[in-house]
A and B are shown apart, each in its own frame.
Chain A
Amino acid sequence: MSEKVLMKGNEAFGEAAILSGCNFYFGYPITPQSEIPEYLSRELPKRGGCFIQAESELAAINMAYGAAAAGGNAFISSSAPGIALMQEGLSFMCCAEVPVVVLNVSRCGPGIGGIQPGQADYIQATRGGGNGDYKIPVFAPSTIQEAIDMIYEATYLANKWRNPMMLLTDGMMGQMMEPVVLPEPRKLLTSEEIPQAKPWALSGFDHKNGQRSLIRALHMQPTDLEIQVEKIFTKYDAMEKELPAYAAEGLEGAEIVFVAFGLMSRLVREAIEMLAEEGIKAGLIRPKTLWPYPYAAFDELDFNSTKVVISTELSKGQMIEDVRLGVEGRLPVELIYRTGGVVPTTPEVVERAKKILEGLK
């Protein structure tokens, strides 16, 4: 058969987590991502891992905290309001420097939302819904293949930085199928290997000559907590240099530059083709990371030709502040959006873009 295999997004996310070396999954079902726990409940135990259906999202994130503190590789998934419930745990894990990979197969919102696709968790993801000074890198795949590759990388990065890593996708990506190539499985650490690979972990094997290992989000002295916050921000400063990623397409000579991530970037590509048929050249900046945001992408704009930069979103302008920070006032920034779970049609995006362009003249 073909080297490629046709996979549903949610199945592929689960499989990618296993191949990336995640050996613990804790979750509570919520559509449109329930196939992930379904898949992992079947597959993870067969492949040396542990699946536990938690009694709630709060329980799930705290089980992940425990498993990862003991040196396991934990993977967590949920959808918008479920991710909201996990925010306290994520804040704790950032403070305690415990890795986890978190996947949000987003609903729209606010409130319970619906199972249609949305990108309205942008601010929740990039600014943190939890308390205190912390950051979580956020990756935004636009294809199932890219999601697989990003989950694979995120497992490595979470351990490298001892910090949660998040992927922001949406219901449509969870439910749709695409042909993919799966990566080689990473070898799982045995219990005996954990002390060397993760000397910070509470593995129970390494007594460090009587020194205690301590993982905690509680610091009794304000000055101690300040030291810890400064320590984790040294990591965030380094991440801001290392992690930003984007793709830029057709910026040279473009009159309009769309900024879109995830599925919307694919719809925008069709809009760019339709605009070209009408003699309007347009380009695309596609952020692959949402925090740290790839502000440098905007230095590549063609300031001789480009008249407007348009943040194109499935939310009410949640990304536009980052676009403005990138543009730095050099060009007007506008917004095209639909919300509530509605995906615009391509002609709709084209018409709105043309109206924006005319309005500038």
Chain B
Amino acid sequence: MTNLFPSISTLLSKRIIAIFGHYGSGKTEIAVSLAMLTARQTQPYQKCALIDLDIVNPYFRSREQRDMLKKAGIEVYGSVYNTEITAELPALGANARVPLEDKNCLSIVDFGGNDVGAMIMNQFGKYFTTEDALLLGVVNANRPDTRTVEGAVQHIAAIEQSIGKTLDALINNSHLLRETTAQTVIQGHAFVQQVAQACNKKLWADCYPEELVQKKQLTPLLESGSTLLPLGLYMRPTWLDK
């Protein structure tokens, strides 16, 4: 794999990477992709964990990809209940704290959607310190609520209010699932930059689905110094797009 997410070890400067965002922003896909990328180069950490703290959405959670991640050497932490989907239990096992306590573990934390889904961070608040954690907000410019700068800023503010912390930076993950084109990513970049300016944050990275968009199609972004994060489309069953 030659086009690895560049300088991942410098970007992942903190040992806890927390991913927040509105519904449909693509938090889970980013969390799984980041975990798969970092599994190959976790230094200086000895292990990599994906913590699924999504208790608001019973479908399409990263726990479903547990087997694939396990094979890649990533431990997945989340609900301890195997019957979780039917039981609809918004419950998490205490084991979600294990990687957060472990200074040798790089943890990628996937929160549930919107301010409601982010709220769960409060019970784990002590781990998400400025020193240890990077708090990222994902924006997809093609969702109804976040098509305007005002709407996106409102969502970010609501998440920050819900967790009582400020997000460090934003991720542009403007996409239309398998209909995503280079144009979708480029237009999204310009939009999320405006959002970032409006809330005084940096744009941390631009995501693109590797299967659908080639890195060279995103030259304008590369030239402007953006960090490009390739995503696998791990969460969507292939047959849905037949």
Q: Is the C-beta of B215 less than 8 angstroms from some C-beta in chain A?
A: no
Of the stretches B2-10, B57-65, B95-103, B197-205, the one at the interface is: B57-65
With contact pairs A5-B147, A6-B176 given, residues A269 and B86 touching in the complex (Cβ less than 8 Å): no
What is the distance, in angstroms, from B32's C-beta to the closest C-beta of chain A? 16
* CB proximity to B under 8 Å, residues A78-134: 114-116
Of the stretches A176-184, A215-223, A327-335, the one at the interface is: A176-184
Contact with B along A4-24 (1 / 0, CB 8 A): 111110010001000000000
* A8 engages B24 (CB within 8 Å): yes
Q: Is the C-beta of A267 less than 8 angstroms from some C-beta in chain B?
A: yes
B57 contact set on A, CB distance < 8 A? 175
Q: Is the C-beta of A292 less than 8 angstroms from some C-beta in chain B?
A: no
* B85 engages A116 (CB within 8 Å): yes
Interface size class of A (residues with CB under 8 A): 20 to 34
* CB proximity to A under 8 Å, residues B43-83: 57-60
Closest A residue by C-beta to B148: A1
Our pick among B23, B85, B176 for the contact of A8 (Cβ within 8 Å) is: B23
Report the separation of the CA atoms of residues A47 and B116 in the bound assembly, to the nearest whole angstrom: 25
* A267 engages B142 (CB within 8 Å): no
A5 contact set on B, CB distance < 8 A? 142-144, 147
Report the separation of the CA atoms of residues A329 and B109 in the bound assembly, to the nearest whole angstrom: 57
* B58 engages A179 (CB within 8 Å): no
* A4 engages B142 (CB within 8 Å): yes
A37 contact set on B, CB distance < 8 A? none
With contact pairs A4-B142, A115-B58 given, residues A269 and B242 touching in the complex (Cβ less than 8 Å): yes
* CB proximity to B under 8 Å, residues A223-263: 263
Q: Is the C-beta of A346 less than 8 angstroms from some C-beta in chain B?
A: yes
Q: Is the C-beta of A196 less than 8 angstroms from some C-beta in chain B?
A: no
Contact with A along B84-121 (1 / 0, CB 8 A): 01101000000000000000000000000000000000
The prevalent SS among residues of A at the interface is mixed
What is the distance, in angstroms, from A89's C-beta to the closest C-beta of chain B? 27
What is the distance, in angstroms, from B64's C-beta to the closest C-beta of chain A? 12
* A176 engages B184 (CB within 8 Å): no
* B59 engages A172 (CB within 8 Å): yes
* A2 engages B60 (CB within 8 Å): no
Report the separation of the CA atoms of residues A8 and B58 in the bound assembly, to the nearest whole angstrom: 13
Q: Is the C-beta of A71 less than 8 angstroms from some C-beta in chain B?
A: no
With contact pairs A2-B184, A6-B24, A270-B239 given, residues A115 and B177 touching in the complex (Cβ less than 8 Å): no
What is the distance, in angstroms, from B58's C-beta to the closest C-beta of chain A? 6
Report the separation of the CA atoms of residues A213 and B175 in the bound assembly, to the nearest whole angstrom: 53
Closest A residue by C-beta to B236: A176
With contact pairs A269-B239, A341-B86 given, residues A2 and B58 touching in the complex (Cβ less than 8 Å): no
Report the separation of the CA atoms of residues A175 and B56 in the bound assembly, to the nearest whole angstrom: 12
* A115 engages B142 (CB within 8 Å): no
Report the separation of the CA atoms of residues A152 and B236 in the bound assembly, to the nearest whole angstrom: 27
What is the distance, in angstroms, from A351's C-beta to the closest C-beta of chain B? 15
Report the separation of the CA atoms of residues A295 and B176 in the bound assembly, to the nearest whole angstrom: 36
With contact pairs A4-B179, A269-B239, A341-B86 given, residues A176 and B59 touching in the complex (Cβ less than 8 Å): yes
* B140 engages A6 (CB within 8 Å): yes
Q: Is the C-beta of B191 less than 8 angstroms from some C-beta in chain A?
A: yes
Report the separation of the CA atoms of residues A263 and B59 in the bound assembly, to the nearest whole angstrom: 15
- 18 additional A-B pairs beyond A6-B175, A7-B24, A269-B239, beta carbons within 8 Å, are A1-B142, A1-B174, A2-B184, A4-B176, A6-B142, A114-B86, A115-B85, A116-B85, A175-B57, A175-B60, A176-B60, A176-B236, A177-B177, A179-B177, A179-B179, A267-B242, A270-B238, A346-B239
Residues of chain B touching chain A, judged by Cβ–Cβ distance below 8 Å, are 23-24, 57-60, 85-86, 88, 140-144, 147, 174-177, 179, 184, 187, 191, 236, 238-242
Residues of chain A touching chain B, judged by Cβ–Cβ distance below 8 Å, are 1-2, 4-8, 11, 15, 31-32, 114-116, 171-172, 175-179, 263, 266-267, 269-270, 273, 341, 346
Q: Would you list the 10 A-B pairs with minimal beta carbon distance, nearest first?
A: A269-B242, A175-B59, A114-B86, A179-B176, A270-B239, A267-B239, A270-B242, A6-B142, A179-B179, A177-B24
